[in-house]
Structure 1
Amino acid sequence: MATSRGALQPITSRSVVEQATEELRRAILAGQLAPGGEYSLRELAGMLDISFIPIREALRSLESEGLVIMRPGRSAVVAPLDLDDLRGIYRLRRALEPDIARRSCVLLRDEDLDRLEFQATDFGAREQGMADIYDDHHAFHLALLAPAATAWDIRVLTTLWRAGERYIRIGFGRLDPDPAEHQRRGQAHADLVAAFRTRDPGTVGDAVEQHLARNEKIAFSALS
């Protein structure tokens, strides 16, 4: 599948494999490398102005995240968007996140919750689209769970968050023109912080379940 050279930004320094992985991931999550699109490794190496070997290593990393599918030979396909995959991502998130949250709510410090409450207000700013806030959004949810999360919890959740990011960006991207959606987005995250302030595991678990359910519904509606 042909694409413009401007879809990817040239690599400069640091670890070439690491930078190639980050840039390819960014382009996939932003939709600049379209779902279902097939690209030769030589084509991708040319876009990034690097050699063939680091591209292959980068694609292997992205395959482990569920973002690409390696083909026999020297090509890769950007993983298609699939409603069954979306259901699977959220089924696993619901199995992990409420449980970790219930344990984390009694461990978080008040100053951590104060900081997160302040951060939640930024999610409601009209100039902040999903593409702008997504890194902060990951950090916000990780901070809520981190006191009770193991290294493996974080690895698994990070993989699920990245796999679900394309779906969420599409779903919320269609809502962004509505000013009320931005206010709701900020309030939804402020409500999560308020639930954690209760220090009640049942309240927190229910709040996280409801947050996940609404996000899944928005992403599912946008795609179906």
Structure 2
Amino acid sequence: MERATAAVRPIESRSVADQVMSELRRSILAGDLAPGREFSLREVAEMLQVSIIPVREALRSLESQGLVHMRPGRSAVVAPLDLDELRGIYRLRRRLEPEIAQRSCRLLSDADLDRLRHDATEFGDEHRTIHEIYEAHHAFHLALLSPAATAWDLRILITLWRAAERYIRIGFGRLDPDPDEHWRREQAHQELLDAFRQRDPEVVAAAVHQHLAHNEQIALLALRS
């Protein structure tokens, strides 16, 4: 009997363009490539020791993510920070996340909340930067909301979180040298978990709304400095 044609193909190694895109994205999100920084494609190709072709492909992908603006010729500029954009992102998050949290607080088990409490203690480690905890922080909020989130809720949430990622990494990264900021991060997330433990949808909605509003103000102040 002949073998059936494979339904999926084996995973191939990432293309050079994908690798260039990942490295440039990391540098932009961390602020190493500063907002407004202009650079030539040749400059990037020389830094990464690749040809110009994958650099151009990578920059087009980053442009579609709103992280760079391509210029006529062979140059690009890192997209400037737009604080009105950040306000708009948080405005949408405050409309969506408290409502999902109201339903999710009755679906999460005590064991789930115990695990998340342990995770939140990691946010208070003054030796870990926002870049080192960002993915764990993202997973923390996803775990709080996902029990009640539809597939479309998650698509929209993840889109908003990705749009805010550069602002969060750069803004809160500027606060990393202050040990009190690390303590505040832990406390803010422990207080959020305390609200979820009450299983009261109104209490949870208010706590999530306050958490988002407070973080927005902290990020805006840090980015203005």
What is the TM-score normalised by the length of structure 2? Answer: 0.83
Q: Distance in 2 between matches of 1:127 and 1:96?
A: 33
Deviation at 1:106, TM superposition (A): 2.1
Give the aligned CA root-mean-square deviation in angstroms: 2.1
Letter in 2 for 1:132: E
Letter in 2 for 1:195: A
Whole-Å separation in 1 of the counterparts to 2:183 and 2:173: 14
Classify 1:74/1:152 alpha carbon distance in 2 versus 1 (closer, same or farther; 3 Å).
Answer: farther
CA distance, structure 1, for counterparts of residue 143 and residue 70 of structure 2: 34
Mapped to 2, the partners of 1:82 and 1:202 lie a distance apart of 33
Q: Structure 1 stretches (4+) deviating beyond 4 angstroms?
A: none
Deviation at 1:200, TM superposition (A): 1.9
User: What is the aligned partner in structure 1 of residue 3 from structure 2?
Assistant: none
Partner of 2:57: 57
Identity of aligned residues (%): 71
Matched, 1:121 2:121: yes
| Partners of 2:79 and 2:198 in 1: CA distance | 41
- Structure 1 gaps of 5+ residues are 1-12
8 A Cα contact 1:65 1:159, kept in partner: no
Give, in angstroms, the shift of residue 137 of structure 1: 1.0
Aligned-pair distance for 1:179? 2.4
Where does residue 206 of structure 2 map in the other structure? 206
> In 1, Cα distance between the equivalents of 2:62 and 2:51?
17
TM-score (normalised: structure 1): 0.84
Aligned residue number for residue 185 of structure 1: 185
Q: Is the CA contact 1:67–1:163 (under 8 Å) kept in the aligned structure 2?
A: no
Q: After superposition, give the CA deviation of every residue in 1:2-51 in whole Å (9 maximum; x if it has no partner).
A: xxxxxxxxxxx634333322211110011111101122333323322334
Q: How far off is 1:184 after superposition?
A: 1.6
Equivalent-residue separation in structure 2 for 1:75 and 1:136 (angstroms): 35
Structure 2 alignment gaps of length 5 or more:
1-12
CA spacing shift, 1:102–1:42, aligned 2, 3 Å: farther
For residues 121 and 173 of structure 1, the distance between their equivalents in structure 2, rounded to whole angstroms, comes to: 18
Q: 1:104 to 1:50 in 2, by over 3 A?
A: farther
Q: Which residue of 2 aligns with 1:159?
A: 159
Pair 42,154 (structure 1): closer, same or farther in 2 beyond 3 Å: farther
Measure the CA separation in 2 of the matches of 1:134 and 1:106: 26
Once structures 1 and 2 are overlaid, which stretch shifts more, 46-55 or 108-117? Answer: 46-55
Within 5 Å, which residues of 2 pair with 1:169-180? Answer: 169-180=169-180
The structure that has the greater radius of gyration is 2
Q: Which secondary structure state, in structure 2, belongs to the residue aligned with residue 123 of structure 1?
A: helix
